[in-house]
Structure 1
Amino acid sequence: MTLFKLKFTSNSPQKLGAFLMKHGFSKQAVNNAKNHDGLILVNHKRRYTSYQLHKGDEIIFVPGQEKANPWLRPSDKPLVRVKETANYLVVNKPAGVLSIPSRYEDDDALVNRALGYFTKSKQEEVKPHVITRLDRDTSGLVLIGKNPIAHARFAKLSKDDFVKKYHAVVHGNFASDELTGMIKAPIAQKEGTVVRQIDPAGQSAATEYRVLNQVAGASLVELRLFTGRTHQIRVHLQSIGHPLFGDPLYGVADNFTRQALNCYYLAFPDPFLDQQVEIKIPEPLDMQELWQNLQG
């Protein structure tokens, strides 16, 4: 059973409900705890959310039973776990797998695989909440919450606190004065399509890049996202004349079978523990082979 222990340390009294909201417990989570087999205790006594907290009070929050999604089916396909705690899971998503099910493919997204893993590991009460997503053909690290509290607390982290970095293999070479930079260009959806484009009326978007290596006609680039727009890296790299290998939607035809983009690095403050988490993974084999072949 998952439970959360908190201590009220303020000298100024505060209502229990307001305190819980401040610490990442949504209204839905609080209602679920009150009405669906959960508990909200102050100093080991049940209390309403209107209860006035005082310095030194200890709060125990036991989430209620989450309602099962009748449309979400578990998958037995592999789930590559990189880190797991009581509240979240970091996995290495392979290219070709959706992060969440679509209308047309609903049986083998990363969420389905996570649900299958939770079922097999006797964590039947756990429901996956995808916190970071990757495009189907982008590989790399994805963070999955194991309860709605984790999802809400991670959502409160700023882009400065939550760091995602990618490696990409792109077409073309960068000039000596363009080896690092920040791409700031708003992105909008092209009407009637899945395609995104640079548009002054679009949503603000910022991507930092650093060239790591170059060979004839290709470059290895590190990227960091400061916003999370759909297809952001792909659109931004296209906009500066360096589309990804394997991305005909935003680039040119080549022989790589998927976009050469891998989320290799995640760093964030653990919202449940007083510690910084930093995770790195090696490049997938197909991207390693692509770069080796490009080097001749």
Structure 2
Amino acid sequence: MELRDIEIFLALAEELHFGRTAERLCVSPSRITQAIKKQERQIGALLFERTNRAVRLTPIGEQLHRDLSAGYRQIRRGIETAADAARGTSGVLTLGTIGPHSLAISHVLDLFRTRHPSARLQHREIQPPSPLELLRSGDVDVAVLWLPVCESDLTVGPVLHTSQVLLMVADTHPYAERDSICLEDLGDCAVVQGGSIPPYMEETFNPYRTPAGRPIRRGPKVSTWQECLTVVSSGQVVAGVTDETADFYSWPGLAFLPIRDARLCEWALVWRTADETPLIRALANTADAVANTRDAPTYRDF
């Protein structure tokens, strides 16, 4: 039995309808009929019971379906692995993410693993106060970062998801009792300072001026996310964060407030332009495919 005939048999066993099977395989219904009749002659028994109302597997057909399914999947995996190797989409891809954002894009990563079974994803944690550090050092191949990223040597890929911007404060802070704030309220606060973070990226969460032009004071510098949580919970400063932070870092002593007039924060794949590889491009293409699918799930759906 040839591989195409096996594909026809397995597809018909799933669809149990000659017309749908023909559409699925992009062949004519007569081609499906001829292939099944040929298989039945070779085996010497009927594989399907056909009536005007239904198509069903015979007991011998059911046995053949069980035996062929596992072997066919193994053959397909072997072909896909060889194709991945030929395209250069095998090997290790080191992905840098911040906090819970690997969960926020889990649907993209799951599809990437399905499409490229020979590739292996390796994860590194990016510290928000120094978001470009691991990219610059080469410790990650591609990073999930908030926008904008306007570096001449970096490529910004597809947007993966968006987040609401919240204000993280100590539960003793005067704002902690409010339902929400506006950006103008930051003029009465001190905000945390990042380490090696471009000012334009820092503006997304901790602007330098209010909409009315009042300067926003800077507090202590932090170099890790843990330090940020500590200094905010102590009441020294406040910090702009994403809504995922409120879900995953519900520390004692912290409160999270919606910022009514803050723009949504976009997250995208970013990589070193000079070091782009087929594996990085494969991940970007996967993200594009997910972005074009309606109602893509988020980590809150799992």
- Provide TM-score, normalisation by structure 2: 0.23
Q: Larger Cα Rg: Structure 1 or Structure 2?
A: 2
The structure with the greater share of residues assigned to helix is 2
Task: Tell which has more relative contact order, 1 or 2 (C-alpha 8 A, sep 6+).
Answer: 2
